């Protein structure tokens, strides 16, 4: 069995951001030379997500608005977590609902997506260095 483990690094300019990371993941799949296998992509931080959806700007704005309605950043005092002196209680909740990781099948050397599927990094407490793990296993 072949395997490959790599990090993608992010330091977003905004506190909240969605980044399409499909091209970077495809590069790592190519580098692994795995033809049949699995590709795991997971955020290594508890205030960031990895998820799969449509690369459509209106939808990404809808996600942002929906998350802000579910867990508004302010007032900061509404979150018990922020009693620790942090201000990212909302980011932990947003991360949980958008998910930690995705697993995509690799078929014939390529990510085996459904129609319109793309992999996104979701940042909810950015402007600092964070990483995403990509682990590929297969033959
Ligand atoms: Zn926190």
What lies within 8 Å, CB to CB, of 103 at 6+ separation is 38, 39, 40, 41
Range of the domain at 66: 2-138
Q: For residues 113-137, give the mean pLDDT.
A: 98
Q: What is the pLDDT of residues 91-121, one digit of tens each?
A: 999 999 999 999 999 999 999 999 999 999 9
Q: 125 alpha carbon to ligand 1 midpoint, in Å?
A: 9
Q: How many domains does the chain have?
A: 1
Distance 118 CA to ligand 1 centre (A): 28
Cβ–Cβ under 8 Å, residues 44 and 131: yes
Average pLDDT over residues 78-98: 98
- The Å distance, Cα 135 to ligand 1 centre, comes to 26
Gap from CA of 5 to ligand 1 centroid (Å): 27
Say which DSSP state 83 is in.
G
Ligand 1 centroid to residue 101 C-alpha, Å:
19
pLDDT tens across 8-59, in order?
Answer: 999 999 999 999 999 999 999 999 999 999 999 999 999 999 999 999 999 9
Q: List the CATH number of the domain containing 111.
A: 2.60.120.460
Q: What is the pLDDT of residue 43?
A: 98
Q: How far is the CA of 128 from the centre of ligand 1 (A)?
A: 13
């Amino acid at each position: 069995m072949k395997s490959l483990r790599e990090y993608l690094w992010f330091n977003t300019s905004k506190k909240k951001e969605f980044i399409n990371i499909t091209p970077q993941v495809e590069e790592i799949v190519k580098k692994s030379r795995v033809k049949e296998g699995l590709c795991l992509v997971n955020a290594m931080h508890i205030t960031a997500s990895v998820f799969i959806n449509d690369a459509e700007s209106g939808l990404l704005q809808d996600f942002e608005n929906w998350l802000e309605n579910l867990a508004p950043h302010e007032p900061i005092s509404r979150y018990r977590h922020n009693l620790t002196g942090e201000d990212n209680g909302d980011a932990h909740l947003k991360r949980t609902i958008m998910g930690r990781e995705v697993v995509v099948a690799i078929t014939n050397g390529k990510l085996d997506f459904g129609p319109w599927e793309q992999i996104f990094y979701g940042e909810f407490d950015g402007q600092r260095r964070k990483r995403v793990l990509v682990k590929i296993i297969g033959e």
